């Protein structure tokens, strides 16, 4: 059910297990509502499997196990909205055009970028991508590296990255070719969301 934002203070989604009812904030755009529905579907239908994977010894705290569950459910939601094979084929055909893929699959820019980082299946790989979500102060709130680029574990992003130009030109895609000290070269795009 789509509800007024005032019914979900501080939240965009709430599930009531007694009523088996999912409440979604009216503030969520349609593409985010679809993602939240798929996320909740995963929690309901595959909760035991999520719990099993979250018990991996690498997740040593309750917080890390909870984050693992959420991450797996998010991966599931992305895979439901952008199925691997068809999405990879479309990405190759459209030359990895993020805007075209977003419109075709009715998902947001960030969702497409995140899905592109996951196209690493053996014998069915896409181009290696990395992704960062950064605020204007340089704080990194999301990082995925399917490209092999190494991100700082602490502190902010490199001030030379085009991400900071993106904040000065909202909505425009900024392009940069960067070379790392070890000689590897990366093609980077940045945009505000």
What confidence category does residue 34 fall into, taking pLDDT thresholds of 50, 70 and 90?
very high
Length of the chain: 193
Q: Which residues pair with 187 in a beta bridge?
A: 177
Instruction: Please give the full DSSP string across 49-79, using - where no structure is assigned.
Output: HHHHHHTSTT--SHHHHHHHHHHHHHHHHHH
How far is it, in rounded angstroms, from Cα 50 to Cα 136? 34
- Please report the beta strands in 51-158, taking only residues with DSSP state E, as ranges in sequence order: 120-121, 124-125, 130-134, 140-145
Fold of 1-81: Arc Repressor Mutant, subunit A (1.10.10)
Intervals of CATH 1.10.10.2910 along the chain? 1-81
What are the tens digits of pLDDT across the range 53-75?
A: 999 999 999 999 999 999 999 99
pTM of the model: 0.86
What is the predicted pLDDT for the residue at 53?
Answer: 96
**Residue 174 in contact with residue 191, Cβ under 8 Å?**
yes
- Count of Cβ atoms closer than 10 Å to residue 157 Cβ: 18
| Averaged pLDDT of the chain | 90
Residue that the structure tokens 């990194």 belong to? 140
User: HEC string of 180-192?
Assistant: CCCCCEEEEEECC
Q: Please determine, for residue 43, whether its predicted confidence score (pLDDT) is greater than 90.
A: yes
Residue that the structure tokens 């590897």 belong to? 184
What confidence category does residue 139 fall into, taking pLDDT thresholds of 50, 70 and 90?
confident
What is the predicted pLDDT for the residue at 154?
Answer: 65
- Count of Cβ atoms closer than 10 Å to residue 37 Cβ: 16
**Which range has the worst mean pLDDT, 116-120, 152-156, 173-177?**
152-156
How far is it, in rounded angstroms, from Cα 19 to Cα 171? 40
């Amino acid at each position: 059910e789509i509800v007024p934002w005032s019914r979900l203070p501080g939240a965009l989604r709430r599930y009531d297990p007694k009523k088996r009812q999912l409440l979604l904030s009216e503030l969520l755009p349609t593409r985010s509502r679809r993602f939240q529905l798929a996320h909740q579907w995963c929690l309901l239908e595959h909760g035991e499997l999520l719990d099993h994977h979250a018990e991996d010894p690498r997740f040593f705290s309750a917080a890390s196990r909870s984050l693992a569950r959420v991450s797996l459910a998010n991966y599931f939601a992305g895979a439901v909205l952008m199925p691997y094979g068809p999405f990879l084929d479309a990405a190759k055909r459209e030359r990895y055009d993020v805007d075209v893929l977003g419109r075709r699959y009715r998902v947001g820019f960030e969702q497409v970028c995140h899905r592109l980082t996951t196209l690493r299946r053996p014998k069915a790989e896409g181009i290696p991508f990395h992704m960062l979500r950064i605020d204007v102060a340089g704080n990194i709130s999301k990082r995925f590296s399917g490209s092999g680029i190494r991100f700082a574990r602490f502190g902010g992003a490199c001030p030379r990255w085009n991400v900071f130009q993106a904040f000065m030109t909202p909505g425009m895609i900024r392009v940069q070719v960067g070379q790392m000290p070890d000689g590897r070269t990366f093609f980077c795009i940045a945009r505000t969301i």
